[in-house]
Amino acid sequence: MDAGEFPVPAGPRQRPTRHGAARVEDWVHDVRERWARRRGHVPTVVPYTGYGSTEWARVFCRVLLSRPVAADASPRRRRRRDQGIRGWRSFTSVPVGDVPVTIEVGGQRIEVLADRGGVVDTKVPVRLEPGWNRAVLHTEGAEPVDAPIWVVGPDVDFGIISDVDDTVMVTALPRPFVAAWNTFVLDEHARMPTPGMAVLFERLVHRYPGAPVIYLSTGAWNVAPTLTRFLSRHLYPPGPLLLTDWGPTHDRWFRSGRAHKIENLRRLAEEFPGVRWLLIGDDGQHDEELYAEFAREHPELVAAIAIRELSSGQAVLAGGRAKSAQHAGVPWVSARDGATIADRLADIGML
């Protein structure tokens, strides 16, 4: 057995007791998987950007069934497939759960199981150099794909955690019809960036070389390729997306976006105890409250909190403005656009 390689346990995977909605969803996935395989669909690994330190890497991907790409397909067609399944098809594509996925990174090779939604989120012990690295991911019947990994150097003491919806792009997410339109119909060309935010992020990464930029959102993994292309198109610094699985979980009707954000903030605090974070969000959902709670728990790990203020119209579309949160003893700035937020961060010596 190679160093760092872990065998998959023999026999069926033991699942935790599942909510009734999750059991129904699993049954639907099983039926759709059999139907899709009969139509000739094959497994496709959709890679997502990961992150890590010089001693470990957190790797993300999802396994879906999709139409095979013909051997004589154009480079553009292959490139589109490599970038992930797009738009509404990302929600109608069939996930392949409990399938072994092989991860090769930094000379290590391990095999893990995708979860019931086809998602792999695993931590690999491996020696890597700071900066961009890559993992090679594959499963039986699928072509290998590369997943980028940003490795935080041991001397890095500053990082950025940012919300996505109504922070880096305007979505009015809580309004059901607009959210559905943005998710299922529009592509990254039609989404609107938040004014000045990309320039703010670019100034921050130049001011703090090597700083990780992590986009923490309640959005589903299905839209990760679209969001990645949006961020690249509008010149946001690349970084991992921390998203959630779509639909019911093993213990509830639907995933908890609040719990997802809290869990990942606490995880990042544990993984990078020497990094102080600039937390960026907006006042249309729960960012102020969640960031203030995190700052009270870990004041030594919060460099500042920056809140993008929604306009009155955007606040109405977003379901109202969040109640003001206590500043929890850390620097706190707010403004309606990225340029003004940058000025206020400069006023407190961060830019």
Which is it for strands 302-308 and 332-335: parallel, antiparallel or unpaired? parallel
CATH superfamily of domain region 158-347: HAD superfamily/HAD-like (3.40.50.1000)
* Nearest in space to 119 (alpha carbons), one of 212, 9, 19, 255: 255
SS3 state of residue 83: coil
Please give the C-alpha separations between residue 161 and each of 29, 243, 264, 306, 307, in angstroms, as whole numbers: 34, 13, 10, 10, 12
Residues 63-73, mean pLDDT to the nearest whole number: 71
DSSP3 helix / strand / coil % (the chain, rounded to 5): 30, 30, 40
Q: Which residue has the higher pLDDT, 183 or 115?
A: 115
Q: What is the pLDDT of residues 39-66, one digit of tens each?
A: 766 888 999 999 999 999 999 999 988 7
**Angstrom distance (rounded) from CA 135 to CA 144:** 10
Residue with tokens 């940058």: 342
CA 210, 339, 226 angle in degrees (round to 5)?
Answer: 65
Please give the C-alpha separations between residue 335 and each of 205, 234, 340, in angstroms, as whole numbers: 20, 20, 6
Sorting pLDDT into bands at 50, 70 and 90, what band is 7? Answer: very low
Asked whether residue 290 carries a pLDDT value surpassing 80, the answer given is yes
- Supply the pTM of this predicted model: 0.82
Q: Which residue has the higher pLDDT, 19 or 111?
A: 111
* Nearest in space to 255 (alpha carbons), one of 266, 175, 31, 263: 263
| Average of per-residue pLDDT values in the chain | 80
Q: Which residue ranges make up each domain of the chain?
A: 20-151, 158-347
Q: What is the pLDDT of residues 141-184, one digit of tens each?
A: 888 999 999 999 999 999 999 999 889 988 754 545 555 555 55
Query: Which residues lie below 8 Å from residue 1, measured CB to CB, with a gap of 6+?
Result: 7
Instruction: Note the pLDDT of residue 8.
Output: 41
Instruction: Note the pLDDT of residue 310.
Output: 87
71-80, 204-213, 266-275: the lowest-pLDDT one: 71-80
Sorting pLDDT into bands at 50, 70 and 90, what band is 12? Answer: very low
Asked whether residue 315 carries a pLDDT value surpassing 50, the answer given is no
Sorting pLDDT into bands at 50, 70 and 90, what band is 317? Answer: very low
Say which amino acid occupies 27. W
Q: What is the DSSP string of 263-294?
A: HHHHHHHHH-TT-EEEEEEESSSSHHHHHHHH
Instruction: Note the pLDDT of residue 222.
Output: 82
Say which amino acid occupies 330. V
Asked whether residue 319 carries a pLDDT value surpassing 60, the answer given is no
Please give the C-alpha separations between residue 13 and each of 40, 78, 115, 153, 324, in angstroms, as whole numbers: 26, 33, 10, 36, 46
Instruction: Note the pLDDT of residue 100.
Output: 95
Report the residue count for the chain.
351
User: Considering the chain, what percentage of its residues have pLDDT values greater than 90?
Assistant: 52
Residues 107-134, mean pLDDT to the nearest whole number: 94
Give the CATH architecture of domain 20-151: Sandwich (2.60)
